[in-house]
């Protein structure tokens, strides 16, 4: 146990609370929020680099890390920082991840009294761009690490490696390539990172993986230009209607996936047990959950954490802003499959094409545009129990476990 000494744990907790209570943590986070690290705005490339070199690198160096900043191998203006705090070859090594970029500030859309580039405190809430994603999360992790280093008088008893990107909000260009080229540097025993929501604000949450993501386009292109619906309606095949039929054959009107080859294997008992106590959508700002939507026979948690879904992200035909009495020549839908481990995702495109053919729906072109694989650490892995127990000892709360 890395923190088996109760004294160490209590000292680290006390030090962490002191950093928070003194206002030092708020000051650190506010300084980080000031950096307008909008990766979706190419004009902010210098700010992304500055956040790493002027803010994060010095923070890590004060904690005993050696740091280096590398260019993004994709050519994108999204540099990546690598850091290492090494104590001994014989000790376990933890690898952690963070991202310094945020989504656009959208300054004009913040309500009165709030603004994106500085923290505004209202009661027990802090507002500012990136507080949740990801500046607040990595600031908490760095402050926690500092507290443990201090509690253990400079010796952690394990090594730490950090990969810090600035392109997460633009789909992490170059991250795969960098991890491959830095494979040796990033080798470790355990990967721990924070970049996602809790199941609810009150409950600590441990994620063992995430559903995969497969994006695809459905296109029906039948002719050049529109044709008058009064003259041609009833004898010309309508691309929008064909596409709507295709979509409703893939997902029914209650959100149930109907392509049997894309369904996951049965939910493992260990996964079912792990998510049995998880309640989704309990926060006051959560949207209404429709109990009739999705796979019947599953709990709400099982539908979103242990099953597959296909969502329509966008759908266009004609000009919705200025519709005219014309049969559109083309229609297009952008769709996404979220899938769990065990799904035959490699053949998803073929399965969808075959399904439409079996349904007698022709003229639909199917194109897979991007894929990220599903991950899931075994719920019974010893590290899982170690993490769950440690969090419970520190917080007094049993964490939610998301397989």
Strands (E), 71-226: 80-85, 93-99, 120-122, 125-127, 159-165, 190-191, 205-207, 212-221
Domain boundaries, the chain: 6-196, 212-372
Helices then strands (H, E): number in the chain? 12, 15
116 in Cβ contact with 106 (< 8 Å): yes
Say which DSSP state 136 is in.
H
For the chain, the 3-state helix, strand and coil shares in percent, each to the nearest 5, are 35, 20, 45
Residue 384 bridge partners (DSSP): none
- Centre a 10 Å sphere on the Cβ of residue 169 and count the other Cβ atoms it contains: 19
138-141, Cβ contacts within 8 angstroms, sequence gap of 24 or more: 138/98, 138/99, 138/100, 138/164, 138/194, 139/25, 139/28, 139/29, 139/32, 140/194, 141/96, 141/98, 141/194
* Model confidence, pTM: 0.84
pLDDT of residue 4: 52
Q: Residue 116 contacts by C-beta under 8 Å, 6 or more apart in sequence? A: 33, 105, 106, 107, 110, 128, 129
pLDDT value at position 284? 82
Pull the structure tokens for residue 274: 């792990």
Q: For the purposes of burial, counting CB atoms within 10 Å of the CB of 207, is it exposed (0-12), middle (13-18) or buried (19 or more)?
A: buried
pLDDT at 88: 98
What phi and psi, each to the nearest 5 degrees, are found at residue 265?
Answer: -65, 165
Residues lower than pLDDT 50 in the chain = 1, 3
CATH of domain 212-372: 3.30.70.360
> What pLDDT does residue 196 have?
85
283-292 b/e with 16+ CB inside 10 Å = b?
A: eeeeeeeeee
Helices (H), 22-134: 24-34, 45-50, 57-62
Mean pLDDT of all residues in the chain? 95
- Are the C-beta atoms of 218 and 194 separated by less than 8 Å? no
Residues whose CB falls within 8 Å of the CB of residue 298, separated by 6 or more in sequence, listed in order: 267, 306, 307
Give the integer Cα–Cα distance in Å for 365 and 368. Answer: 10
What's domain 6-196's superfamily in CATH?
Zn peptidases (3.40.630.10)
CA angle 152, 157, 159 (to 5 degrees): 120
């Amino acid at each position: 146990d890395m923190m088996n000494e109760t004294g160490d744990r209590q000292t680290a907790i006390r030090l962490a609370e002191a950093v928070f209570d003194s206002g030092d943590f708020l000051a650190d986070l506010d300084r980080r929020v000031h950096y307008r690290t909008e990766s979706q705005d190419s004009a902010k490339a210098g700010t992304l680099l500055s956040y790493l070199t002027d803010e994060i690198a010095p923070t890590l160096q004060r904690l005993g890390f050696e740091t280096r900043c590398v260019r993004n191998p994709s050519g994108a203006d999204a540099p990546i920082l690598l850091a290492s705090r090494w104590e001994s070859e014989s000790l376990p090594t933890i690898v952690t991840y963070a991202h310094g970029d945020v989504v656009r500030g959208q300054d004009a859309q913040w309500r009165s009294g709030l603004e994106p580039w500085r923290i505004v405190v209202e009661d027990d809430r802090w507002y500012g761009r990136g507080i949740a994603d990801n500046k607040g999360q990595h600031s908490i992790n760095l402050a926690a690490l500092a507290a443990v280093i201090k509690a253990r008088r400079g010796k952690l008893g394990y090594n730490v490696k950090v990969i810090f990107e600035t392109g997460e909000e633009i789909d992490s260009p170059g991250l795969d390539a960098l991890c491959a080229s830095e494979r040796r540097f990033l080798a470790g025993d355990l990967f721990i990172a924070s970049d996602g929501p809790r199941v609810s604000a009150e409950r600590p949450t441990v994620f063992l993986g995430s559903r995969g993501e497969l994006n695809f386009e459905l296109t029906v292109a039948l002719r050049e230009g529109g044709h008058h619906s009064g003259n041609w309606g009833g004898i010309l095949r309508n691309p929008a209607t064909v596409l709507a039929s295709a979509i409703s054959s893939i997902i029914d009107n209650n959100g149930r996936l109907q392509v049997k080859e894309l369904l996951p294997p049965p939910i493992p008992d260990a996964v079912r047990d792990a998510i049995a106590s998880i309640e989704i959508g309990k926060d006051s700002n959560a949207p209404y959950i429709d109990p009739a939507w999705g796979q019947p026979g599953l709990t709400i948690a099982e539908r979103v954490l242990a099953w597959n879904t296909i969502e329509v992200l966008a759908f266009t035909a004609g000009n919705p802003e200025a519709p005219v009495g014309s049969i559109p020549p083309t229609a297009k839908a952008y769709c996404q499959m979220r899938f769990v481990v065990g799904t035959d995702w490699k053949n998803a495109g073929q399965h969808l094409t075959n399904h439409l053919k079996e349904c007698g729906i022709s003229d639909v072109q199917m194109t897979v545009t991007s894929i990220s694989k599903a991950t899931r650490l075994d719920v019974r892995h010893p590290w899982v129990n170690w993490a769950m127990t440690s969090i419970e000892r520190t917080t007094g709360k049993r964490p939610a476990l998301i397989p």
